[in-house]
């Protein structure tokens, strides 16, 4: 069978599959505490998520008119890696939705700006990694979302044509990446981002029927 004729659903990670905000905010605030600053509330950290760890750190430091150094970034990444699974959990209904999609015959993949080691570590800890045929992190290619070549690298890894793929995400970067790749996108409202999108869902249990409807 020609794999390029199979269908795939590609997921963003943070804010889409997993609620990683508590651990991301914790790492940011421990970094800020090194400079004598108080914590940034999680609800203020949420809009900073989506462009990768380096940008998250830059936005968090900007709260105090600071610019992180290379040392700050290295310490932050190491600290987050050590605590990446402390409080992070799948969003409600995600494990079952993934199982239902796999049972329906779709390939599944992850396209995330998160470093790939961290992404795989958290997916494994949450017993989700086996659901995916590919996991491509933000440091695995020269490109990151919203550059469509990041998503295209994922599709190449699973050998699926863009016309047979769907991107699921909670951030404008996900929607832009999909649009630039000729891929239909589903915006999930339970995450950290806000954007206009023609196809939106509010619960994970709506994923299988929404995907089936797009591919019908």
Rg (CA), the chain: 17
Q: Which tokens sit at 39?
A: 């914590």
Q: Distance of alpha carbon 206 from its chain centroid, rounded?
A: 19
CB-based contact 138:39 (threshold 8 Å):
no
Report how far residue 57's alpha carbon sits from residue 76's, in angstroms, rounded to the nearest whole number: 8
Residue closest to 146 by CA, chosen among 185, 101, 190, 109: 185
Return the active site residues.
Answer: 12
Q: Please enumerate in sequence order all residues whose Cβ is within 8 A of that of 157, keeping only pairs 6 or more positions apart, or say none.
A: 109, 133, 134, 136
CB-based contact 40:56 (threshold 8 Å):
no
Report how far residue 151's alpha carbon sits from residue 10's, in angstroms, rounded to the nearest whole number: 8
SS3 136: strand
């Amino acid at each position: 069978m020609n794999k390029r004729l199979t269908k795939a659903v590609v997921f963003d990670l943070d804010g889409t599959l997993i609620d990683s905000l508590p651990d991301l905010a914790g790492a940011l605030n421990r970094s800020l505490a090194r400079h004598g600053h108080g914590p940034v509330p999680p609800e203020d950290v949420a809009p900073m998520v989506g462009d990768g760890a380096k940008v998250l750190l830059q936005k968090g430091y900007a709260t105090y008119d600071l610019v992180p150094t290379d040392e700050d970034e290295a310490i932050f990444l190491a600290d987050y890696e050590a605590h990446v699974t402390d409080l992070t959990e799948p969003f409600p209904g995600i494990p079952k939705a993934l199982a239902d999609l796999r049972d329906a015959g779709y390939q599944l993949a992850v396209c995330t700006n998160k470093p790939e080691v961290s992404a795989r570590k958290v997916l494994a800890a949450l017993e989700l990694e086996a659901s995916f045929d590919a996991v491509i992190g933000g440091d695995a290619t020269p490109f990151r979302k919203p550059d469509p070549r990041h998503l295209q690298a994922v599709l190449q890894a699973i050998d699926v044509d863009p016309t047979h793929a769907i991107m699921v995400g909670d951030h404008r970067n996900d929607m832009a990446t999909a649009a630039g790749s000729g891929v239909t996108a589903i915006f999930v409202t339970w995450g950290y981002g806000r954007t206009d999108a023609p196809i939106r869902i509010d619960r994970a249990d709506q994923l299988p029927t929404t995907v089936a409807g797009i591919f019908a």
